[in-house]
């Protein structure tokens, strides 16, 4: 009988979080109550948080004070979620150039700084305060809980790996934290038969109770399991994210492992939406953010997407007072849904499917598939030296990485070596080079493809 799991969930984890001054458990209980509110009640809750955010941003950040003054607006003008439409959208270029001007001059101060993984080829640095971090943690556990994932379960994370920290102490702290929380991380990027078999063996020996995985990684592993008839375990929930979940992938993953729950998030705000047991769209994290799906019409009008229509995802973090991000355009696309109650009884809005972040698969020099997100992970770590990047695999199999350096005309030697070592690890026997460019233009659709796999001229679409 497994006693450690329940003890971790009911005693050790709450005590550990409380000792570190993190109200994760009380916030989680709060969210488990608010999710049952009506949509109107949840919108009122959002409006209250929004008023606080706008007031703080106006009083303590140069960027939003100037923005509101230019438009003859005051914080009291934002009496509803709909009032957000009075502010312009915040694109990635503006996020980067306004970084200092959006940083608040008064408490709460930022305590965490992260870089996005750069799924549009242009990483963004984000700062946020402790309150925002606490809400993010609680929201993640709430959303994951809809799948049956509970704190204390043995969790198999089939995820991408960035370069390890240079600090031995940090590496040991991460390893200890994962061991205590029963998190096993397995690199999903190598997808040769040997790598997939190794992943299956680790899954079995760990006796996983839940899987958290990149969508394409879980699908590749499931295909391997099903084709080789390797399943000899009981069903467990699989939470997938980072890429779109296609119906045929859902079927394969369910056959190999168990019920599938799609999630959607980004490092800027963490978990945006999660599937519940009804599997009918993803509930958004209304208590922590405002999610808008924006359509820009040809006449210049900016409006909300109608049910069934695809819109650009715009996010407002309601709890990041340290460096506000209001109506931030992520670069993703999602389908809007009717504001009707879910059969699960939760009042939270739903969106989906997500139509952004579909990444092409590379091939190493031995012909093995390699997940294209691998270089997004790398530049989430190296954002301080590169503004934009793009990876292109030529028809002959060689790989060229185009890079727009932050300073000067090339990467510093130490960072260049990290890129080369990373490529050698994940693309063995593959000719690899770095090409420095002044810019990487967007496509006609306004997107920057991070990974491009060229096809032969006579290849069919």
Q: Which is higher by pLDDT, 427 or 377?
A: 427
pTM of the entire predicted model? 0.83
Mean pLDDT of the chain: 91
Q: Once rounded to an integer, what is the mean pLDDT over residues 363-371?
A: 87
**Would strands 386-393 and 451-453 be described as parallel, antiparallel, or unpaired?**
parallel
Position 382 confidence tier, pLDDT thresholds 50, 70, 90: confident
**Under a CB-based contact definition with an 8 Å cutoff, are residues 238 and 211 in contact?**
yes
pLDDT confidence of residue 273: 97
Domains of the chain with bracketed CATH? 4-135+266-354 (3.40.50.12780), 148-258 (3.40.50), 362-453 (3.30.300.30)
Q: Once rounded to an integer, what is the mean pLDDT over residues 58-78?
A: 98
**Under a CB-based contact definition with an 8 Å cutoff, are residues 206 and 181 in contact?**
no
pLDDT confidence of residue 460: 45
Q: Once rounded to an integer, what is the mean pLDDT over residues 379-384?
A: 74
pLDDT over 70 at 2, yes or no = yes
Exposed, middle or buried, 114 (CB in 10 Å: 0-12/13-18/19+)?
Answer: middle
Helix, strand, coil % (nearest 5) of the chain?
A: 35, 25, 40
Q: What residues does 451 pair with on adjacent strands?
A: 391
Q: pLDDT for 246-289, tens place per residue? A: 898 999 999 999 999 999 998 899 999 999 999 999 999 999 99
Q: Once rounded to an integer, what is the mean pLDDT over residues 322-348?
A: 94
Q: pLDDT for 118-161, tens place per residue? A: 555 667 889 999 999 999 999 999 999 999 999 999 999 999 87
Position 358 confidence tier, pLDDT thresholds 50, 70, 90: very low
Sequence-ordered alpha helix ranges (H) in 286-412: 374-381
Position 374 confidence tier, pLDDT thresholds 50, 70, 90: confident
pLDDT over 90 at 165, yes or no = no
> First CA to last CA across the chain, in angstroms?
53
Q: How far is CA 50 from CA 10, 82, 302, 323, 458, in A?
A: 33, 11, 20, 14, 54
Q: Once rounded to an integer, what is the mean pLDDT over residues 440-445?
A: 65
């Amino acid at each position: 009988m497994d006693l450690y799991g329940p003890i971790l969930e009911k005693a050790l984890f709450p005590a550990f979080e409380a000792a570190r001054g993190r109200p994760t458990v009380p916030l989680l209980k709060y969210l488990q109550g608010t999710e049952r509110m009506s949509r109107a009640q949840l919108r009122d809750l959002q409006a209250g948080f929004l008023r606080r955010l706008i007031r703080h941003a106006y009083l303590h950040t140069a960027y939003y004070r100037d923005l509101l003054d230019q438009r003859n607006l005051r914080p009291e003008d934002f009496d509803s979620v709909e009032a957000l439409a009075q502010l312009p959208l915040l694109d990635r270029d503006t996020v980067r150039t306004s970084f200092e001007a959006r940083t608040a001059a008064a408490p709460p101060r930022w305590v965490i700084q992260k870089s996005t993984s750069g799924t549009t080829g242009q990483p963004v640095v984000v700062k946020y305060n402790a309150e925002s971090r606490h809400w993010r943690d609680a929201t993640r556990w709430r959303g994951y809980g809809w799948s049956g994932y509970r704190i204390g379960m043995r969790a198999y994370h089939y995820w991408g790996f960035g370069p390890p920290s240079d600090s031995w102490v940090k590496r040991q702290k991460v390893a200890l934290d994962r061991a205590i929380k029963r998190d096993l991380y397995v690199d999903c990027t190598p997808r040769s038969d040997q790598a997939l078999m190794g992943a299956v063996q680790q899954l079995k020996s760990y006796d996983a109770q839940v899987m958290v995985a990149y969508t394409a990684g879980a699908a590749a592993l499931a295909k391997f399991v099903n084709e080789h008839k390797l399943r000899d375990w009981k069903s467990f929930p699989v939470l997938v994210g980072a890429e779109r979940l296609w119906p045929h992938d859902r079927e394969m993953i369910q056959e190999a492992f168990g019920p599938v729950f799609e999630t959607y998030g980004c490092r800027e705000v963490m978990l945006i939406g999660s599937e519940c047991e009804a599997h009918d769209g993803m509930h958004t994290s209304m208590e922590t953010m405002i999610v808008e799906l924006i359509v820009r019409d040809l006449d210049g009008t900016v409006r909300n997407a109608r049910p069934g229509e695809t819109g650009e995802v715009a996010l407002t973090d309601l709890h990041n007072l340290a460096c506000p991000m209001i109506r931030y355009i992520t670069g993703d696309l999602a389908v809007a849904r009717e504001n009707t109650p879910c059969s699960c009884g939760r009042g939270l809005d739903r969106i989906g499917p997500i139509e952004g972040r579909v990444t092409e698969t590379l091939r190493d020099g031995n012909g093995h598939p390699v997940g294209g997100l691998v270089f997004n992970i790398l530049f989430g770590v190296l954002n301080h030296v590169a503004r934009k990047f793009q990876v292109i695999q030529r028809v002959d199999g060689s790989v060229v990485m185009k890079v727009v350096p932050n300073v000067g005309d090339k990467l510093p030697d130490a960072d260049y070596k990290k890129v080369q070592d990373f490529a050698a690890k994940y693309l063995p026997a593959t000719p690899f080079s770095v090409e420095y460019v002044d810019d990487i233009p967007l496509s006609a659709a306004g997107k920057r493809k991070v990974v491009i796999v060229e096809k032969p001229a006579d290849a069919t679409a």
